[in-house]
Structure formats: C-alpha cells, structure tokens
Amino acid sequence: MLYVEILGNLPEMARDEVKAMLELGGGEIVGQDYLFLKVDASEKAFPFLDRLGLTHEYGDLLVEADSVDELLRKAREVEWPIEGTFKVDTETMANCRHDVPDLPRKLGAVIHAQGFRVNLSKPDTLVRVYCGERLYAGIRLRFFDPKDFERRKAHHRPFFRPISLHPRVSRALVNLTKAQRELLDPMMGAGGILIEAGLLGLKVYGVDIKPEMVEGAEINLRHYGVRDFELKLGDATRLEELFPGKEFEAVATDPPYGTAATLAGRRRDELYRAVLRSIYNVLKPSGRLAIAFPTSFDGKGEAEKLGFNMLGHYYQRVHKSLERYFYVFEK
Ligand SMILES: C[S@@+](CC[C@H](N)C(=O)[O-])C[C@H]1O[C@@H](n2cnc3c(N)ncnc32)[C@H](O)[C@@H]1O
C-alpha cells in the first residue's frame, strides 16, 4: 500500500490529479483522511506519481491504527525497510484526533529496537507519521521540493509576464488531461503550462495571438531545456486552420480574464465560447481539456452545449476581483 500527501490549497483538484495519474500508471485511491490518501498501486505507478504537481510527498504505507497504543503495537510487528539511519517525523493534520507530541520518540524507540540508528539532522530514511481521524506510519519515497517549482515561477523566467499560473497548478492541469504524448496550449502566453508539459517529455504545441508571446514562450521553453515544441502565431478561435487535419491528444489552457489588452479587442464571453468550440474541433475523441474560466462565465453549460462532458471543476479565489474555476472536460 502507498500513501500520497496532497497539498491543501486546491485539495479536490490535487486528489483528482492523483486519480488521473493512477489511471495511467495502474492503481486507485482506496481511502482518504483529509490530505492523506491511501493508494493501492505498485511500483509501476511511480513514474506517473513522479509527475504530480499538487502533492507534497508519497511513500510506502506500513501501519494504520486508531490509537497511539495500537500504532506502536503494530509497528513492533513490522519489519521496517530502513536503509542507513532514520528519523521519525510527524504530520499533524488539521483534523488530528490523537495526542501525538510524544509519538516520534516512542515510535523511534520501537524502530531503534530493531537495530536501526537514529540521525535527527541528516537521516537516510524518513519515517512519516500522519495524524488525522486515524494514525498512519510509513516511509517517504519521494518528496516534491517546492524549490523545484519555485524556480519556474513567472519572475524567474527569462521572458517575464505576470499573467501566469503557479507552476504546480500548471503541472496539475497538464496531468488532469492524462496527456502521454502531446499537449496543446492555444493561449500559451509566456508558456507556463507548456514548460510543465515539456518537462514531462510531452511534445508541446502552443499558440498566441501576440508575436511577443510566441517569441517569449520559445525563450522560456529553451531556458528550461524543452526542445520538442511547435509554436505558432495565431488565433485560438481558428485552431482548425492553424493545424489542418491534426487531432490533439490533450489541451490545457489559461485564457485571459478580462482586461482589454489581453482579450485583443474581443468581447470576453464570445471569445471563450469561440475558443471552446475550436478546441473541441481539434481534440481527438475522448481527449481531455483542462481550462480556467472566471466564475462569472458558465464554463460547464457552454462546454456541454458543444458536446463536452465535465469530469470535474475546482474553485479558486485568486483575489478580490478574480474568482475562477479550473474545469476538466472530455470530448
Ligand atoms: C492568461 S495568458 C496565458 C498565461 C500562460 N498560461 C502563462 O503561463 O504565461 C492568456 C494569453 O492569451 C492570449 N490571447 C488572447 N486572445 C487570444 C486569441 N484569440 N488567440 C490566441 N491567444 C490569445 C494573450 O495574448 C495571453 O498571452
């Protein structure tokens, strides 16, 4: 059994991102305790879990219990797969129902009794305890270092535009499409979504109506080592003409939210409807679209009119004047 600890700011989106990766890698979420997911999957799922954006870490789940005493009793029966030294680290989630301050010391003693050495400053193995409704203990296999994503934030890119999603969110949008070969962003801006897709080894296609964005996105993609791309100057409402005969496996995009400059002279809702239609036309059957719209636009209704099926939508308040949904649609 595995565990995945998702991030707390977009928890439903994070959970569905894990689900999408398990659909590709084999496995399923079999339980949830706040931000802790219990996952039934084998090592074959690791390359897909390694793609995750809205996840803190994943690992091997070894013990589950309803009390501290039960956890310690079960921990004595486990053969702890520890390499080198270890440390016990507790995650007290907001719904924690148990008295855990002393638990790291007690569990550390149980594991130490099996012959393993503690190293609090630089352990080789991290034993993680989660406290929620229940208690869980396991071994961290992969930590998603925030610094890896931070260095791709908009202001660290050589071509800087402030209108950009956080790289973790861009990564999640890519994953929610379940893309395995390629991805199109028809309103790519500075290329934030395409960078995340390209780093996963996908071929990326991008379109923007502004020449400086097409140039800037290319500079950014090259800067992060993405080489397999095709970028075009053009209109996201006319994708059929830009890519004649092409059907895309997946599309992810973050359209402009409303200032006259970013809408390039169009009325906002008309632009959104036309973009949705054009994406539908170039998406292959069963292909997925991940897209953001302000809450004032009926994304679900408009997409369903075209034949899309909504798989999920996730609310985010960005600031006082911008609230949006991230939608996942299937053709
Ligand atoms: C919110 S930005 C995308 C930001 C991008 N995700 C990033 O990380 O940099 C929206 C982009 O849509 C572009 N755009 C606006 N109308 C368009 C249209 N009709 N066709 C293609 N691109 C368009 C704008 O030029 C802008 O760069």
Ordered by start, the domain boundaries in the chain are 2-144, 149-330
Stretches where the chain sits below pLDDT 70 are: 259-265
Q: Is 209 in the pocket of ligand 1 (CB under 6 A)?
A: yes
Q: Is 64 in the pocket of ligand 1 (CB under 6 A)?
A: no
Q: Is 163 in the pocket of ligand 1 (CB under 6 A)?
A: yes
The pTM of this model reads: 0.96
Report the CATH architecture of 2-144: 2-Layer Sandwich (3.30)
Measuring from atom 8 of ligand 1, which residue has the nearest CA?
192
Instruction: Tell me whether residue 212 is exposed, middle or buried, using C-beta atoms within 10 angstroms of its C-beta: 0 to 12, 13 to 18, 19 or more.
Output: exposed
The Cα–Cα gap between 231 and 206 comes to 5
Phi, psi of 5, deg, nearest 5: -100, 115
The Cα–Cα gap between 192 and 169 comes to 10
Atom of ligand 1 nearest to the CA of 257: 1
The confidence score (pLDDT) of residue 21 equals 98
The confidence score (pLDDT) of residue 262 equals 62
Strand pairing class (283-294; 36-40): unpaired
Distance 255 CA to ligand 1 centre (A): 6
Strand pairing class (2-6; 55-65): antiparallel
Q: Is 236 in the pocket of ligand 1 (CB under 6 A)?
A: yes
Equal fold, 2-144 vs 149-330: no
The confidence score (pLDDT) of residue 205 equals 98
Superfamily of domain 149-330: Vaccinia Virus protein VP39 (3.40.50.150)
